[in-house]
Copies of this chain bind each other. A is one copy, B any other.
Amino acid sequence: MFTQTIHPTVGRLPQGMTPPAAARGEIEGGFGLVTSEFTYGKDVEIYGEDEPAEYVYQVIRGAVRSYKLLSDGRRQINAFYLAGDVFGLETGPLHRLATEAVVDTTVRLVKRNAVEHAATTDVEVVRKLLNVTARDLKHAEDHMLLLGRKTALERVAAFLLEMDRRLTVAGLLALPMCRRDIGDYLGLTLETVSRSLSQLQEQGILDLSGARQILVRNRQRLQTMNA
């Protein structure tokens, strides 16, 4: 067995522990560097805020949330990373956000200094890093508009459209995250998220077949709600 599941009680990758190097591949399909795979259990921290950035990650299977905390525990989730997404890339020495596995999640890792090294000589590598960062920035810009200016219903509609686009399989949207995660992503409470979803169901726009199994019946009306 090449990958390893760390359970919540175990915590994250211990100091000095190297992920198994048996699995090799490429981040973003082309850094041409040695990579490893690693599996994190549900709710396990991958790295903490202000922790040294030692790896760059790519989600192979599962989902990851990145977030910041205030001193009293208020949390803002900046992004959910799903299969294929690259995360954990930094230009400075530290991670500016913490990340956790939303569900059991397998990631591919590349040593950060390997990427750094490649980036000093290869223009294409730096351009890839720029593209990854620019994608995150675009997402952040859209999300600021949502957080600063949209109503609860508009936020939930936007969330559903984003997730619909990113992880709908066979017409069914299977959310990996709980209502609290959604609330912390949208700047709402979990109750408001729940009420908004119920409201969308009453209006016949959705079908909730189980709290996390969503069928989008009227994509167009969701889009118009998105202002």
Chain A residues within 8 Å of chain B by Cβ, number: 42
Q: How far is the CA of A112 from the CA of B97 in the complex (A)?
A: 31
A141, B71: Cβ atoms closer than 8 Å: no
Query: Which A residues, 126 to 141, have Cβ-Cβ distances below 8 Å to chain B?
Result: 126-127, 129-131, 133-134, 136-138, 140-141
B227, A149: Cβ atoms closer than 8 Å: no
B130, A91: Cβ atoms closer than 8 Å: yes
Kindly state whether residue A201 has any CB partner on chain B within 8 Å.
no
Dominant secondary structure at the A interface: helix
With a cutoff of 8 Å between Cβ atoms, the chain B residues found around residue A141 in the complex are 68, 78, 96-97, 140
List residues of chain A with CB under 8 Å of any chain B CB.
68, 70-72, 74-76, 78, 90-92, 96-97, 119-123, 126-127, 129-131, 133-134, 136-138, 140-145, 147-150, 184, 186-187, 227
**Top 8 A-B pairs ranked by shortest CB distance?**
A148-B187, A140-B140, A147-B147, A91-B134, A126-B126, A76-B148, A76-B145, A74-B149
